[in-house]
């Protein structure tokens, strides 16, 4: 097992990883930007190294800085969390070259999954249904016309290197096609450094359902059931739950088995999430795979009893899946609300000093957060400041519990999305489990703005 791990991240996930390390008896090193000097992850780690100015490009994304912090502190491994360098194949390679274990999949697998059109092809060839779409990157107008004819309208043009819900364009009719293609390419170039795009059928009322997986270094992969993440605003998840209200045992077993088989062929190691869209008729299609731990991992932890971060660490240290995962008992229902520092009506980020931070507790409530009273939320990073997660014996109990926990959660000094979450939880369609990815647009009575 590792002696010392560096956590190449900030906020709640850095704290979450440090907690897992503490429980495993592993020493921890935090890295931080000048804006995060007083952060909880810095205080809670055994050692901490400043890696640069506030801007992520100069600190959390700065590979030489992160690696030199790891070398100075003599760590055995780096946990990248999510975002930042977590899906950067080059970073994983540099770790390898520096003889530091990267806690995640191999650089080759990260690269494959990072090219979404390639991941689609790969999964399709391994027997997992993908959204009908182009065979790969669309290389010019002729291919665009051909693919559009094959797919039909509406279709969606997506950046091959896309992520975070960015770089997508829906095209409703032929006349819009060329313009959308060109805009998508230039947006992709700007956001992701490559203009590559591909096209898929646009599913009009999909549900987003994803499978959590873990793979060890001995060829074995396991799935830990699914999460439903259809409550989104602008393709960004707001509420996640497990199990999905529309997944039954047979389906879970069949699809789970397909996913596991495909990933064993790929040689997938460590934690990952395989994302699907479910059509209104119940068809379910692969859209992408995220080769890292995800924000919403706690809902899976609560319904399986597995500590996913500890499992990641143990797998990276070479343990086999059975030992790393331990006993898995599916029970109950878990829901997570992402609490963002933003205006609940305009969605404008709300940075500043938190004056009151009173987190809820009680039976079945978990709060993953690095926020505290008097903390300053800097404007440079993601606006998510806390995750409120509850577990109930069933979905109805989880909803009741989440409602009361949201009521108890007091954050003052900045604006948060708590009022929006209250509205979501109070909605009758949500309660009935009848929703799709456009739920928020309907709730807000507009385009989700």
Cα separation, 180 vs 424, whole angstroms: 32
Q: According to the binding rule CB under 6 A, does residue 120 interact with ligand ADP? A: no
Q: Residue 11 is encoded by which pair of tokens?
A: 């906020």
- Assess contact for 397 and 190: CB atoms under 8 A: no
Q: Which of 120, 292, 366, 395 is catalytic?
A: 292
Q: Tell me the closest approach of the beta carbon of residue 54 to ligand ADP, in angstroms.
A: 25
Cα separation, 267 vs 276, whole angstroms: 20
Q: Tell me the closest approach of the beta carbon of residue 41 to ligand ADP, in angstroms.
A: 25
Please calculate the CA angle 353-357-360 and round it to the nearest 5 degrees. 155
Compare residues 180 and 375 and give the one whose CB is closer to ligand ADP.
Answer: 180
Q: According to the binding rule CB under 6 A, does residue 144 interact with ligand ADP? A: no
Stretch that binds ligand ADP, among 31-39, 67-75, 92-100, 203-211 (CB under 6 A): 203-211
Phi then psi for residue 376, to 5 deg, are -105, 125
Compare residues 114 and 364 and give the one whose CB is closer to ligand ADP.
Answer: 114
How far is CA 251 from each of CA 130, 254, 263, 282, 362, rounded to the nearest angstrom? 16, 5, 18, 10, 34
Size of the site for ligand ADP (CB under 6 A): 19
Q: Which of 245, 240, 242 is nearest to 223 (CA)?
A: 242
Q: Tell me the closest approach of the beta carbon of residue 440 to ligand ADP, in angstroms.
A: 11
Compare residues 155 and 309 and give the one whose CB is closer to ligand ADP.
Answer: 155
From first CA to last CA, the distance across the chain in angstroms is 48
- Assess contact for 335 and 299: CB atoms under 8 A: yes
Q: Tell me the closest approach of the beta carbon of residue 205 to ligand ADP, in angstroms.
A: 9
Compare residues 113 and 367 and give the one whose CB is closer to ligand ADP.
Answer: 113
Q: Which of residues 263-302 bind ligand ADP (CB under 6 A)?
A: 275, 277, 287-288
Compare residues 137 and 351 and give the one whose CB is closer to ligand ADP.
Answer: 137
Q: Tell me the closest approach of the beta carbon of residue 167 to ligand ADP, in angstroms.
A: 7
Please calculate the CA angle 418-406-40 and round it to the nearest 5 degrees. 75
Q: According to the binding rule CB under 6 A, does residue 206 interact with ligand ADP? A: yes
Stretch that binds ligand ADP, among 33-41, 202-210, 376-384, 417-425 (CB under 6 A): 202-210
Compare residues 163 and 267 and give the one whose CB is closer to ligand ADP.
Answer: 163
Q: Which of residues 229-258 bind ligand ADP (CB under 6 A)?
A: 232, 235
Cα separation, 69 vs 63, whole angstroms: 10
Q: Give 438's contacts (C-beta < 8 A, 6+ positions apart).
A: 205, 448
Q: Left (φ > 0), alpha (ψ -120 to 50) or beta: where does 413 sit?
A: left
- In three-state form (DSSP H/G/I as H, E/B as E, the rest C), the secondary structure along 105-129 is CCHHHHHHHHCHHHHHHHHHHCCCC
Compare residues 273 and 416 and give the one whose CB is closer to ligand ADP.
Answer: 273
Interface residue with ligand ADP, options 255, 276, 437, 439 (CB under 6 A): 437
Helix axes 174-192, 141-151, angle to 10 degrees: 120
Q: Is 292 a catalytic residue?
A: yes
Compare residues 42 and 203 and give the one whose CB is closer to ligand ADP.
Answer: 203
Q: According to the binding rule CB under 6 A, does residue 208 interact with ligand ADP? A: yes
Interface residue with ligand ADP, options 117, 200, 228, 307 (CB under 6 A): 200
Q: Which of residues 153-172 bind ligand ADP (CB under 6 A)?
A: 156, 162-166
Q: Tell me the closest approach of the beta carbon of residue 45 to ligand ADP, in angstroms.
A: 30
Q: According to the binding rule CB under 6 A, does residue 367 interact with ligand ADP? A: no
Q: Tell me the closest approach of the beta carbon of residue 64 to ligand ADP, in angstroms.
A: 27
Q: Dihedral (C-alpha) 127, 133, 136, 139: value to the nearest 10 degrees? A: 170
Chain mean position to CA 435: 20
- Catalytic residue ranges: 292
By CB under 6 A, name the binding residues for ligand ADP: 131, 156, 162-166, 200, 202-203, 206, 208, 232, 235, 275, 277, 287-288, 437
């Amino acid at each position: 097992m590792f002696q010392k791990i560096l956590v190449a991240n900030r906020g709640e996930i850095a704290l979450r990883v440090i907690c897992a390390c503490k429980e495993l008896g592993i020493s921890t090193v935090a890295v931080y930007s000048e804006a995060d000097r007083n952060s909880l992850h810095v205080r809670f780690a055994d050692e901490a190294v400043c890696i640069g100015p506030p801007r992520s490009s100069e600190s959390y994304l700065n590979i030489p800085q992160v690696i030199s912090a790891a070398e100075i502190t003599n760590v055995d491994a780096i946990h990248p969390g999510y975002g930042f360098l977590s899906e950067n194949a080059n970073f994983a390679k540099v770790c390898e070259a520096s003889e530091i274990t990267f806690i995640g999949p191999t650089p080759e697998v990260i690269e494959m999954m990072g090219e979404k059109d390639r991941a689609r092809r790969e999964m399709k060839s391994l027997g997992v249904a993908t959204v009908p779409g182009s065979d790969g990157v669309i290389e010019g107008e002729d291919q665009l016309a051909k693919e559009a004819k094959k797919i039909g309208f509406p279709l969606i043009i997506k950046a091959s290197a896309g992520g975070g819900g960015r770089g997508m364009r829906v095209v409703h009719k032929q006349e819009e096609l060329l313009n959308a293609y060109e805009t998508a390419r230039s947006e992709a170039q700007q956001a992701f450094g490559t203009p590559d795009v591909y096209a898929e059928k646009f599913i009009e009322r999909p549900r987003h359902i994803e499978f959590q997986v873990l793979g060890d270094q001995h060829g074995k992969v396991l799935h830990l059931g699914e999460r439903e993440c259809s409550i989104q605003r602008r393709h960004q998840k707001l509420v996640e739950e497990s199990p999905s209200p529309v997944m039954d045992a047979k389906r879970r077993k069949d699809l789970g088995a397909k996913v596991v088989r495909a990933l064993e062929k790929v040689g997938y190691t460590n934690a990952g999430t395989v994302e699907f869209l479910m059509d209104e008729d119940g068809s379910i299609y692969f859209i992408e795979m995220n080769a890292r731990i995800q924000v919403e991992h706690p809902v899976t932890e609560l319904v399986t009893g597995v500590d996913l971060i500890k499992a990641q660490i143990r797998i990276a240290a070479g343990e086999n899946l059975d030992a790393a995962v331990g006993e898995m008992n599916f029970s109950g229902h878990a829901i997570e609300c992402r609490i963002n520092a933003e205006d609940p009506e305009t969605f404008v980020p709300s940075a500043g000093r938190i004056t009151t931070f009173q987190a809820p507790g009680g039976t079945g409530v978990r709060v993953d957060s690095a926020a505290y009273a008097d903390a300053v939320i800097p404007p440079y990073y993601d606006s998510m400041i806390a995750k409120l997660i509850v577990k109930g014996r069933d979905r109805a109990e989880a909803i009741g519990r989440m409602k009361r926990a949201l009521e108890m959660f007091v954050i003052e000094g900045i604006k948060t999305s708590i009022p929006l979450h209250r509205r979501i939880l109070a909605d009758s369609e949500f309660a009935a489990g009848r929703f799709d990815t456009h739920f928020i647009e309907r709730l807000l009575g507009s385009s989700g703005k």
